[in-house]
Amino acid sequence: MTAFEPARRSTTTVPVTGSVAVVSALASWVALIWLGVTAPTHTHPLVYFGLLFLGAGSLALLIAGTSGLTARSRAVAGRLTPSFVTGARNLVLAMWCCALVTDFLGCLIVLGTGGRGGTAPVTTGMVVAVFVITVVTAVVGGVTSFSVRRAYRLG
């Protein structure tokens, strides 16, 4: 094994975690669109911005997952360079941090603005779905970041 090859013992988990991240991101987008469409009438407009923040967390998860899948395909083709490995490792970590921040802000906005100013309160189903989307995005993003960073390290 040279200094620029991926570690052999953990590269098999990268396609699995990358695929799970992509599927989780797409499923959370479907759930967020459903929440936005089925929101009660006269819902506070900031609730929709909170849903957009949660969608941004899902986008970060999608980027992290595709980065892991791209790194795996380059490793199979033998075209891993040190700059690419460093970029992929930094990208998945940055996307996980971005997902954590945007999901926290999305939860805060949705839960803080629902029912304010005489608008319709946020339903219990929406609150549960927001928490589930936040937890799934944070956990899957963390696992993806950990597995990609561990599988593709320099030296």
* Domain span at 60: 13-151
- 62: which residues sit within 8 A by CB, 6+ positions away? 21, 22, 25, 26
1 lies in some domain: no
Angle between helices 45-77 and 13-37 (to 10 degrees): 160
35 lies in some domain: yes
Q: How many domains is the chain partitioned into structurally?
A: 1
Torsional sign, CA 89, 105, 16, 73: negative
- 148: which residues sit within 8 A by CB, 6+ positions away? 14, 17, 18, 64, 67, 68, 71, 88, 89, 92
Tens place of pLDDT for every residue, the chain, 155 residues? Answer: 455 554 444 456 677 888 899 999 999 999 999 999 988 888 888 899 999 999 999 999 999 888 888 877 776 667 777 888 888 888 899 999 999 999 999 999 998 887 777 777 888 889 999 999 999 999 999 998 888 888 777 65
- 147: which residues sit within 8 A by CB, 6+ positions away? 10, 13, 14, 17, 68
pTM: 0.83
36 lies in some domain: yes
pLDDT number for residue 7: 45
106 lies in some domain: yes
Angle between helices 124-151 and 82-113 (to 10 degrees): 170
2 lies in some domain: no
7 lies in some domain: no
